[in-house]
Structure 1
Amino acid sequence: MLDITLLRKDLPSVVARLESRKKNQPYLDVARFSALEAERKQLQTRTEEIQARRNALNKQIGPLKAKGESVDALMAEVNALKAEMESSAVRLDALQPELQTLLLAVPNLPHESVPQGEDEAGNVEVRRWSPQGGEGGNAPQLGFTPRDHVELGEPLGLDFEMGVKLAGSRFTVMKGAIARLHRALAQFMIDLQTGQHGYTECYVPYIVNGETLRGTGQLPKFEGDLFAAKKGGQDGEPVPDLSALYLIPTSEVPLTNFVRDTVVPESQLPIRLTAHTPCFRSEAGSAGRDTRGMIRQHQFDKVEMVQIVHPEKSYDTLEEMTRHAEAVLQALELPYRVVLLCTGDMGFGSSKTYDLEVWIPAQATYREISSVSNCEAFQARRLQARFKNAQGKNELLHTLNGSGLAVGRALVAVLENHQQADGSIAIPKALRPYLGNQAVLRA
């Protein structure tokens, strides 16, 4: 959530920065905000006037009473002023949630280093890497016509038909060798982030309440992208009240909420957290996109990285976390590129985002496998997540999050980039300890 003082001091500047995100998208009802702010100022000014008048009257009443003079008129005015002040207080209390509702729908402001652009066409490539060429290297050619991950994976136990049977479209079942490879990828990622990069491994609920989702920005604006839990019960069991609970779209949500309504000692910063969880997304608005295979699923696994840091360190941390995600791709010997997202392509809560895009040979293109974002104080303001600074004052923290990595898309990339002409999969050296030192995966 934005700092309301920014809007009060320079509303046109804030609106201009918001409009740089996507043209013709009303992020803020400026007329409504201005009207509420004008009313708030008027009520506060009038309240101060009333309080000053009441104080002046009370000073007069005492001496007049001591002289035996009538104070009925003055008392009547005091009582009238009291009633007016109480009425103003009620309206002021009602204004706060109205302003809060407006602000909850407003995205974060882009950092000054973010390139201007309306959509992904405005994104800027920062660097690319390949196993053969290192940084700056282009994706290698396989030397034969590549098969896609569906054709490669089905003989190994990738079962899309069973996923549809059990749940519907965009769900997948994995059995045997492919399930083991998927598990190995997740274990490798979590071990790398904890063992090399200092993250604390966490186990978190896969279902959370609305307050938790509001804290990180998914609610109220993106409720349509969530899977809501429903009331249920059978065989005489009590019906649980799940009406306000949701499946997590990413473990960023519970991990970042660890510091909700908390004042963290500065000595405990930075806080580095990671978790391997399933993620659940309705993919609202994605009809017809990536219908083949595992690129866009309703349920997928991800290893998430979250850092909670001192505000002065957050942009250095963004670069650090991007390198942490890159380390996974490099260890898996996967060609990728790093892209700085433009203003029109960034997520709701982000001030600056890097996307990591892995090479997918069958599509002959790079596809997103990780986003690493600095949210500055945007989430912390919603969460009331603070730390006690060197001067002993409470200050808002900065929060960052990133995928380290999306496991399903990493599986796709490993299958396609490490395929051999006979359809077998050469297992990257970093993964072999998780697969009994197996070097090749065959049907």
Structure 2
Amino acid sequence: MTDAGTRLEYGHRVVIAGGGAGGLELATRLGDRFGRKGVLDVALIERSRTHVWKPKIHEIAAGSMDMSDHEVNYLAHSHWHGFHYCIGEMIGLDRERREVHMAPHLDSEGKEVTPKRSIGYDTLVIAIGSQSNDFGTPGVKEFAMKLENQADAKRFHESMVNACIRAHVQHTPLRPEQLKVVIIGAGATGVELAAELHRTTREVVAYGLDRVDPDKDIKVTVLEAADRVLPSLPPRLSAATEDLLKSLGVEALTGAKVARVLRDHVELADGRMIPSELVVWAAGVKAPDFLKNIAGLETNRINQLVVRSTLQTTRDDSIFAIGDCAACPWIGRDALVPPRAQAAHQQASHLYAQFQRQMAGKPLQDYQYRDFGSLVSLGEYSTVGNMMGGLIGGSLMIEGLFARMMYLLLYKMHELALHGAAKATLDTVARVITRRTEPHVKLH
């Protein structure tokens, strides 16, 4: 997929590195259309065994969503949809030989599952997403948790449940920092996690942990360096969200720059000490460090691959980048496409259409981002956001049930892209039925 207007040869090797929303959707659609027939040889590189839509990670961490009900098994999904699943992690690239280098994959006991190896490609799509950017803040790596994947979310949830059980059985008074959760960053992830934790921690202790008083003992604090929570949303929605958090007993401290994280507290730049037993770092994003100038490709200061409007990297027409790891120009604005799930979904759909054009010998088209706004779920309490762009031709702030329905619709669009209407509908019905017979919070 190099020169515009060049027809792809039969068996053209397409390698997609990264099985997040964009990468998995693209692999699924290409496999269904071309992989089954052998027209394209489609391979997906991903180190995880299962996929969960990343905007759902905070729900797993809080325990309001059972991961097993929503995860997609890569091995089964690839078999059903005509592409190859290559378990492993991309760590390097040889552009001259057109090979992706993969690290050896180890199991939980440190035993090698797959060796260090390389996979050849004709067209490479890099879709490895982003990770948290701690800006070198002291103590973050040692004492803070991040929510970058399912494993991180599961680890936090287990730590939270264990903290509640520990407090219930101990005979000594609670330590000052005990059952205190500090979330650093009041963007969507931080605010969503805080709201979910207010409910789920109370549901956890309601299952017999009666020596813990959630109103007295459990405290959630959100720290934000900017002057308001949700700084990317309009001020009115930030104010409404802050009022809701306050009504839930969540303390939101704005203008609070973190100086360092220690074992039992977070120290702010102004000298304040915030007691904490669990700390979550949810501030800042960057692409993985190994992408920085990888194989001579152009990257920016946060390691994103710089791409043209066709989604091709600036120095290699056979390599594309989509999703959070791509610095993609926003046509019509002096800005980059924001790192959102809707952008990854749109880019996957656009790139799928470009493969169809290439199969017909037609040139590539530019990608035009359509901004449908931002939505932030505050659990069962509310959803806030702004709808804009292609939906209404302007900007409209929305809250409550309608916003909640729009938020759910985004997830359903992802499920439809992966599974089709029939399976997505059946899975939804099954979750509704199961939810009526099981606890509404995960207890382990």
TM-score normalized with structure 2 length: 0.24
Determine which structure has the larger strand proportion and give its number.
2
Highest Rg: 1 or 2? 1
TM-score normalized with structure 1 length: 0.24
